[in-house]
C-alpha cells in the first residue's frame, strides 16, 4: 500500500512549523490539508475526513485539547499532538483525552515521521478490530496469541504473570499509542491508590526484562518518564 493514500490534516497557527511539517509529509507522499485555526480545522475535518490529524495545542481561537475531545466524540482518527508545551501534565492530559501520541517542539523529523506512521497503523488496526476477534499480535520476533494468552519471543515461550500478560496485551492492542500510567492502572487494576504507579513500574521492569529487545536492538516497549508507556509499532508498510 502506498503512503499517498493517506490524507493528513495539520492544525497549527505557526506558519513556519505548519510549512515544515507540510513539506515533510508531502515529501513522504502524503496528501496534506492545512488549517491555521480550530474553526477552519473543524470544517476540514468534516468535509475531508482525513486519515490523521497533527494538532497544535496553542491555537488562536481554541485550546487544541478541546479539538481532541471534539474528534473523539465521533471518530477514532489518529491524533498526533505537536506542541511546545513540554510538561508531563500537558502530555498526560492530551493522551488521556484521546491523542495517540505527543511530540514536543522542536521536533526531530525522522522520529516525527516514525510516530506518524505508527499512529496511522494503530488507527488502521482499530478499524479492523471488530473483524478480528481473538487473533494475534506480532512485532519483530515478539508474538502474542490472545486466544491462548501465550507470548513468545523468537519462538521461545515467555513466562509472564497474569498481571504482566494483561499489561503487555493492553499495550499491544494500542501499539503506536502512548498509554498514560493512569489509563493502564485503571484498565488493569480498576482502582488507583498511592502505590499504583510503583506497582505498574515494577511489572513493567519485569515485562521488559523477560521480553528483551528486538533483533535490531530496539525496545519493544518505550517509557516516557512521568507520562506512560508505548508498545512500538512496526513502521514498515
Q: Is 90 in the site for Ca ion (CB under 5 A)?
A: no
For the chain, what is the largest distance between any 2 Cα atoms, rounded to a whole number of angstroms? 54
Q: Which of 4, 39, 48, 58 binds Ca ion (CB under 5 A)?
A: 58
**Smaller CB distance to Ca ion: residue 58 or 154?**
58
Site for Ca ion in 141-170 (CB under 5 A): none
Tell which residue, 152, 143, 209, 216, has the closest CA to residue 175.
143
**Smaller CB distance to Ca ion: residue 19 or 58?**
58
**Smaller CB distance to Ca ion: residue 80 or 230?**
80
8-state DSSP, 101: E
Span near Ca ion by CB under 5 A; candidates 32-40, 57-65, 128-136, 177-185? 57-65
Q: Is 19 in the site for Ca ion (CB under 5 A)?
A: no
**Smaller CB distance to Ca ion: residue 83 or 224?**
83
Q: Is 56 in the site for Ca ion (CB under 5 A)?
A: yes
Q: Which residue's Cβ has the minimum distance to Ca ion? A: 58
Q: Shortest distance, CB of residue 84 to Ca ion, whole angstroms? A: 7
8-state DSSP, 33: E
Q: Shortest distance, CB of residue 185 to Ca ion, whole angstroms? A: 32
Q: Is 13 in the site for Ca ion (CB under 5 A)?
A: yes
Count how many residues are written for the chain. Answer: 237
**Smaller CB distance to Ca ion: residue 83 or 119?**
83
C-alpha–C-alpha distance, residues 95 and 32, integer Å = 23
Q: Give yes or no for a contact between 140 and 215, defined as CB atoms under 8 angstroms apart.
A: yes
Residues of this chain that bind Ca ion (CB under 5 A): 13, 56, 58
Amino acid at each position: 500500500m502506498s503512503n499517498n493514500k493517506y490524507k493528513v490534516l495539520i492544525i497549527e497557527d505557526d506558519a513556519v512549523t505548519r510549512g515544515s511539517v507540510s513539506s515533510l509529509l508531502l515529501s513522504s507522499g502524503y496528501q496534506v490539508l492545512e488549517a491555521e485555526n480550530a474553526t477552519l480545522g473543524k470544517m476540514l475535518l468534516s468535509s475531508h475526513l482525513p486519515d490523521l490529524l497533527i494538532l497544535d495545542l496553542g491555537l488562536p481561537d481554541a485550546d487544541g485539547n478541546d479539538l481532541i475531545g471534539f474528534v473523539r466524540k465521533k471518530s477514532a482518527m489518529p491524533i498526533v499532538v505537536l506542541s511546545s508545551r513540554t510538561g508531563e501534565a500537558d502530555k498526560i492530559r492530551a493522551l488521556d483525552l484521546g491523542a495517540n501520541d505527543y511530540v514536543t517542539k522542536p521536533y526531530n523529523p525522522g522520529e516525527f515521521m516514525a510516530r506518524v506512521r505508527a499512529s496511522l497503523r494503530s488507527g488502521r488496526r482499530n478499524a479492523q478490530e471488530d473483524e478480528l476477534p481473538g487473533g494475534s499480535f506480532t512485532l519483530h520476533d515478539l508474538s502474542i496469541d490472545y486466544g491462548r494468552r501465550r507470548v513468545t519471543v523468537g519462538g521461545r515461550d515467555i513466562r509472564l504473570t497474569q498481571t504482566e500478560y494483561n499489561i503487555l496485551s493492553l499495550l499491544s492492542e494500542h501499539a503506536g499509542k502512548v498509554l498514560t500510567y493512569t489509563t493502564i492502572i485503571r484498565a488493569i487494576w480498576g482502582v488507583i491508590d498511592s502505590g499504583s504507579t510503583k506497582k505498574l513500574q515494577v511489572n513493567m521492569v519485569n515485562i521488559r526484562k523477560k521480553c528483551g529487545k528486538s533483533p535490531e536492538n530496539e525496545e519493544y516497549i518505550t517509557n516516557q518518564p512521568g507520562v506512560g508507556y508505548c508498545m512500538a509499532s512496526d513502521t514498515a508498510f
